[in-house]
Structure 1
Amino acid sequence: MKLNKIALALVAVAAAPLAANAGVTISPLLLGYHVTDDISDTADKQREILRTGKNLYEDANGNQIGDGSRGNSNGGIAKESGLYTGAALGIELTPSTQFQVEYGVSNTNGEASEDSADAGINRFDVEQTMISGNFLIGTEEFTGYTDGALKPYVLVGAGQSKIEVENQEQYDDSNGNTVTAGTEVSSSKDTIGNLGLGAMYRINDALSLRGEARAIHNFDNNWWEGMALAGLEVVLGGHLAPTVAVPPMEEPMVDTAPIVIVESDLDSDGDGVPDSIDACPGTPMNVVVDERGCPVPVDITDELKMELRVFFDNDKSAIKNQYKPEIAKVAEKMREYPNSTARVEGHASKTGPSARYNQRLSEARAVAVKSMLTNEFGIAPNRLSTVGYGYDQPIAPNDTEEGRAMNRRVYAIITGDKTMTVEQTKDMVVQ
C-alpha cells in the first residue's frame, strides 16, 4: 500500500503560514478500510465502466463497437476493498464546526469479469485517488451542549474520484495487439459526494483522536462506496474559544431635579455653603465641595500586579484541580481590571527525550492555562499571551525529584490598572 507523499507535503506547506492562528487543524495520517466490491451493485457497475483495454473492436457480426476511448471484448473489472490512506488540512469556522480539504489513496487489486478471465487477464492493480472538501458539523451546533471530551459530528462534502487500472500480466487485445504488463488499460474520473458520522475525542487542547464511518456516492456512474477510518488530529494555536455574551451598557442616570433656594444663613452640614444654596445637604465633614455644596469628584488610578504559579505532573500538561481556584481568582481580577493582560510562561524539567520535546511540553502547559481562562472564565484570548521556555529557565536543580517538580510549572504575570472616581477630601493630595 503506497502512502501518498505529495498529499503530506501539501499539508505541511499549507499549514506553515497558518501555524500562528487558532483553529487550524491537520490530520497528517488517516487510515481506513475502503469498501467497494462487497457492494454487489457497485461491483457490477464498475465492471461495466472499467473495461480492460482502450482499442476499437468488432463483434461477431462485424459491427464496430466503441469510440476508441474505452471498451473491448476482454470485459471489465471491479475494484476490491482495501486499505485507504490520506491526510487532511482544515480550519475551524466555529468552536464546533470546521471545513477540511482531504486527499487520499486506495490501492488494491481488481476482480476480473468472466470475459477478462477468459481472455487470460486475471491480475490488475487498481489505484483510486480522492480529493474532497468536507464540512465537519459538531452536534453542539444543534444541542448547545459543550461539556465533555467526546465531540460527535456529521460530515457532508463533495469532491472528485479518479480510478486508474493497470494490467499486471501481458495479454493480446481484440485486435491482436500485445499489451505489456504495467500498462494503464482503463480509467474513470468522477464527481463524488460524502456523507458520514464521526466523533473527536480531545486528549488535550492540541490533540484529538478521530473515528468516522462514511458513505461515498459516485454521481457520474450512480454507485455507492463505503469507508471506515481513524486518525489523529492536531490543532495549531488551540481551538476557537466560545463567544462570551457581554451585557449591554446602561445609560447613566442624570439628576435633573430643580434646585430649591431657601433664604437662610444656616450651614447645617458645616461645609461652608449656606443651606439656602446648598444643593447637597448633609455632606460629610472633610469632603471638598463646590460652590453649590456638592462633593468635588477626583479620578484616582489603581494599579494591578499579581502572579500565578501552577505546577504539573511529570510529562503532563493537564491542570490539577487544586490550582483551579487560583486561576479563578486571576480571572476575577482581570474582569475587575478590564484593560489588564497576562503573560503566561510555560516551563519543563530536564527529563524528556529531547530539548524539542520539552519545548513543546512547556508550550502546551502555557496553552492549557490560557484555555482555562478563556473557555471556563470568559477572558478574551487577545488579553493573554503564551510562551514556552522548555527547560532553559529552571528555578531549582534538575538533579533531584524535588527540584524537577518545582521546574514543571507555569508562571503568569498579570498587570493592569483602572481609574475610579471618588469624592475628594481635604487631606487628599492631588498630583
Structure 2
Amino acid sequence: MKLKNTLGAVIGSFVAASSMGVMAQGQGAVEVEGFVNEYFTDSSRNFAHDEGSQYGGSIGYFLTKDVELALAYGEYHSLNGDKALGNKDIKGNMTDLKALYHFGEPGPGLRPYVSGGFAHQSISNVDAGGRDHSTFATAGAGAKYYFTEMLYARAGVDALYNIDQGETEWQAGVGVGLNFGGSKPVVAAVVEPEPAPVVEEPAEIVRVELDVKFDFDKSKVKEDSYGDIKNLADFMNQYPQTTTTVEGHTDSVGTDAYNQTLSEKRADAVRDVLVNQYGVGGERVNAVGYGESQPVADNATAEGRAINRRVEASVEAEAK
C-alpha cells in the first residue's frame, strides 16, 4: 500500500509539473521518469517464479536532440527463492546505464527509440544467504509519447544478457516522465534583403531654339524658314506641356515706334505659322515685339542689321 501511495504521489507530481510553462526538448534536456517493469528471470538461479516486479526511477541527459544517456535504479518485488533452506522473499535491485537513440523530431507526439548499455544486479537469499551479483549487457526498444513538450509516457522491452551466468532474461515496462531544460534548434530568421535604393537619373533637359530672319522692312515669313518653324512645332506637339514666347526684333533703321510695330508683326507672323499651319495650341504660344531695343549684332553694318532683323523662340522640356 505504501508503495502504491508513493507511486501515485510521483505521478501526481509529474502531472502538476507539466502544467507549468512549456519547456523545450532537444539538446541539453533532462528527463526524469518513474517506471514499473515486469521482470522475466528465465534463468537457473533458483527462483520459485519466473517473473517479478521492479519499481524505480531514472534520470537522463540529451547529448544531442536524439541521443540520451540515462541512469536508472529499480528494486525488485514479488521475487521468491526456490531453495528449501532459503528465504523465499528475495530482495534486490538493479542499476543500469544506457544510451537511447530517439527517432523523429522533438516535440509533442510519438518518438520511438532503441537502447543499449550495461546493468548491475544485486539480489539476496537465492541460496539461503549471501548476495548474488550479476553484470548484464542490455538492448531494448520502445516508444515515448509526449503529450506536451514536457510530459510523456513510455513503454518498452529490454533483453538482459547475464554476462556472469551466460543466460538471457527479459523485462517489459511502462513509465511516466518529464522532459525539461533543453533547447530547440535555432531556426535562422529569414531576412528579406532591403530593396536597393532607387537612384533616379537626373532628368535630361532638351531644348529647341528658333531664329527666323526677315528681309528689310518686311514681316512675311520666308519659305526657307518654314522648316525651322516646323521643327519647333513638332517638338511642342511631342511635349504638350510646353509653352513658348515668340520674340520679334528689328534693325535700327526707322523710328522707334515704327520698329516696335514691325517687330510685333514679325512675331505674330511666326506665331500664325506655328498655330494655324502646324497645329500648336494658340494658348501655348505668346507673341511679343521688342523693336530695335535688343540688337545682337552691329547695326552700323549691313551684315549686322541683317542679323538683327529676326524672330526668336525657345522651348525646353524634360526628356522621358
TM-score (norm 1): 0.37
The normalised TM-score by structure 2 is: 0.48
Instruction: Report 1 or 2 for greater relative contact order, CA contacts < 8 Å, sequence distance ≥ 6.
Output: 2
